[in-house]
A and B are shown apart, each in its own frame.
Chain A
Amino acid sequence: MTDITSGTPDQPEGRRPFSLRGLIAATEIDVRLFGMLLALVAILLGFGLVTGGKFLQPTTFITLSVQTAVVAIMATGMVLIIVSRNIDLSVGSIVGVVAMAYALLMTDWLPHGLGLGANNPLVWIIALVIGLGLGAAIGGLEGFIIAYIGVPSFIVTLGGLLALRGVVWIMSSGAAVAGLDPTFDLLGGSAQGSVGGDTTWALAIVGCVAAVGLLVYNRRQRRRFGFPVRPRWADVLLGVVSCVAVLGIAAIANANYWPKGLANKYAQQHGIVVPPGGLQISTGLPWPIIVVIGVTLLMTFVATRRRFGRYVYAYGGNPDAAELAGINTRWTIMKTFMLMGLLCGLAAAVAVARQDSATLDVGQSDELYVIAAAVVGGTSFSGGVGTIPGAVLGAIVMQSLAYGLAFVGVNTPTQNIVAGAVLIVAVGLDSYNRRRGGGR
């Protein structure tokens, strides 16, 4: 436990000896993102201090991250929506519709309606594909109305928020649907819904190699064209820090063990003798976290390395310029909403898998948390500004606060007051910085 406590703040600690300004310039690191990382560390350490270290346990980080997953997945899409000067208020209701669709598909329509049977592995696969498609279709329809018919996104998605929640009720005749496919439920990230210790280490090593590979590739690319490159020590530092971070996350995940009851049951079933201290099986990374990491990487790739992403940002910076440059702006906007819908479908899968059921209120109010995450993460409503990792960090910061406050026994109304205040203060600080010309 204690080594974890000292392990987390390692990152900023190691940077202190240098001049911060020079370091930021040399590594070309995103100042805003770096600031948020510091804020997150401060929040976690703060709760650690208040609870006398009890807060800083692997279980805390894992639970917190799993709770963040649904909002974080959607926040990556919301960034592109807000960057292109729109808003999507309907994401929570899309989650509700798709969640109910998953539940009905897996409990009724596919096994009985299609006669696939209860334990057919095809059931969850088909359900997932249909659910993702449904999300994208709903988002696409909203996007079409917004981009091609010209109804403001606030209105269209406000309508979606109301109407789609009604659809949820009609789909299930007002009842919750429980008892989903057990394989599908792994997406929820219970102890079994984690990939285990070995796979986690393997993933971490892959991540490490990929990070270093990317640094080397970028350096070579710039050399190839004869552009100025970062100082070598900065690249090495970035590589080392990335690897330490990735391996550190894996170590934390692997220091989280199966609950005793579950471990004993497992030992019994497999004829393992339980050692005196209890059988310790590492959970490793839960599936929702892997999904979030995957989505973050993919969305960052789409936003920064693909034409589509470039058009979204250019449109947000100056819609007329994008139009005059010959970009098909309507199609670009419609695609942002389709992508948002798809991510809602994925978030819905994690949400229903976590509770093994679809209730009528799955996703309710999620739109607010998703927008808050994106905005705390540095996405600006004036358009053109915002990053995917920032939004994910924003989601983690907000959830850390909520979880930490609950941990120290603060009630929900007070948690909401804090969350609201933090939202306003975070954006206020950001605007202040931007006006001073400190930010970008």
Chain B
Amino acid sequence: MTVDERPPLVEMRNISVAFGGVHAVRDVSIDLRAGEVIGLVGGNGAGKSTLMRVLSGAHTADTGEILIDGEPRTINNPRDAKAYNIETIYQTLALADNVDAPANVFLGREIVTRWGTLDDGAMEAATRKVMARLNPNFTNFSMPVKSLSGGQRQAVAIARAVHFNARILIMDEPTAALGPAETAQVRDLIRQLKTEGIGIFLISHDIHDVFDLSDRIGVMYHGRVVGIVNKAEVTPDEVLGMIILGKPRDEVTDKDLAKLH
């Protein structure tokens, strides 16, 4: 990769989050550049999702700071995050099941007419447009999203993030609930967004997904970042060793790796 002189899109410095006595995230620093995909991996409870929830405004960090384009910024709630074009696709999808796809895509950012009433026509038109790109088979624009399939629901969640010109995209297990064809679609989308200069944090349990899509891989273990490595310089086995043993790459020995198999 060529060296980028611009400040990183996002820089999280020394972030710590504790729930009661449990340290979910401890002193984590990580940065993300435009057009870069960082895969975040780690076991259950390693702190990946919590770290990302800090960036998307769902939690506030106890300590640490967040810089966007090199400027220190405060993110206290999801509205703040969205104001900085940080969009999130949550693992749970975070959809309001009882309303239709356009209402979900525009939830919290509705298009209104000049009389202040909801412009459902304009919202449906925009949703149709973004869906044509994401999932051309999607035709259910007036049914509550609870009656949609897993893949279609995922498409709604992705449409919500993509429509509003995200610069920083957080994807938490975006393919966990999808079939092979839909997974391939999401992978294509990630590559396409990358070429558009969007920075992506990709949380995944699927090491192949991560290797396929990421530029760098951040490994977390018990709330700490064990290491952030360039994909080109590691093997999947080494990353697996880091995830399971919680050691930096230099300390993962061949003996350790042999034991994993």
Contacts and interface: CB of A to CB of B under 8 A. Distances in A.
Interface string A207-243: 0000000000000011011010000000000000000
A323 B121 CA distance: 25
A200 B151 CA distance: 53
A326 B77 contact: yes
Nearest to B79: A326
Nearest to A307: B110
A325 B99 contact: no
B78 A227 contact: no
Contact of B96 (A227, A304, A314): A314
Contacts of A77: none
Contacts of B82: 326
B21 interface: no
B118 A305 contact: yes
B96 A307 contact: no
Given A221-B121, A324-B78, A326-B79, A314 B110 contact: no
Chain B contact-residue range equals 20 to 34
B98 A384 contact: yes
Contact of B94 (A306, A316, A318): A318
Contacts of B50: none
Contacts of B103: 310, 314
Interface in A333-379: none
B147 to A, nearest CB: 8
Interface string A24-52: 00000000000000000000000000000
B171 to A, nearest CB: 14
A165 B77 CA distance: 40
Interface in B91-141: 92, 94-99, 103-104, 107-110, 112, 116-118, 121-122, 124-125
Nearest to B77: A326
Contacts of B79: 326, 328
Given A307-B112, A310-B103, A326-B82, A321 B96 contact: yes
Q: Say what secondary structure dominates the interface of chain B.
A: loop
Contacts of B117: 301, 305-306
A327 B107 contact: yes
Contacts of A224: 121
A360 to B, nearest CB: 41
A384 B97 contact: yes
Most chain B CB atoms below 10 A, which of A311, A318, A320, A323: A318
B58 interface: yes
A178 to B, nearest CB: 43
B7 interface: no
A184 interface: no
Contacts of B16: none
A440 B144 contact: yes
Interface residues of A, number: 30
A227 B100 CA distance: 15
Contact of A225 (B99, B124, B144): B124
A321 B94 contact: yes
A248 interface: no
A311 B118 CA distance: 12
A327 B108 contact: yes
Interface string A297-320: 000010011110011011111101
A310 B109 contact: no
B221 interface: no
Nearest to A301: B117
A322 interface: yes
B148 to A, nearest CB: 14
B154 interface: no
A324 B82 CA distance: 10
B96 A318 contact: yes
Interface in B71-94: 77-79, 82, 88, 90, 92, 94
A98 interface: no
A318 B95 contact: yes
B24 to A, nearest CB: 18
A211 B92 CA distance: 41
Contacts of A384: 96-98
A388 interface: no
A270 B104 CA distance: 62
Contacts of B95: 318, 321
Given A224-B121, A306-B118, A324-B88, A313 B78 contact: no
Nearest to A223: B121
B125 A325 contact: no
Contact of B92 (A317, A320, A326, A440): A320
B77 A325 contact: no
A227 B123 CA distance: 12
B94 A324 contact: yes
A385 interface: yes
Contact of B98 (A222, A306, A317): A317
A385 B96 CA distance: 12
Contacts of B124: 225, 227
Contacts of B122: 225
A315 B98 CA distance: 10
A236 B124 CA distance: 24
Nearest to B160: A325
Contacts of A325: 78, 94, 96, 107-109
A312 to B, nearest CB: 11
A310 B78 contact: no
Contacts of B116: 306
A317 B77 contact: no
Given A306-B118, A324-B78, A313 B98 contact: yes
Interface of B: 56-58, 77-79, 82, 88, 90, 92, 94-99, 103-104, 107-110, 112, 116-118, 121-122, 124-125, 144
11 contacts: A221-B121, A222-B121, A225-B121, A225-B122, A307-B118, A310-B107, A314-B103, A317-B97, A321-B104, A324-B56, A327-B108
Interface of A: 221-222, 224-225, 227, 301, 304-307, 310-311, 313-318, 320-328, 384-385, 440
The 10 closest A-B pairs by CB, nearest first: A317-B98, A384-B98, A325-B108, A314-B96, A326-B79, A317-B96, A325-B107, A321-B94, A326-B108, A326-B78
Given A310-B110, A317-B98, 7 more contacts: A225-B124, A301-B117, A318-B94, A324-B88, A326-B78, A327-B107, A328-B79
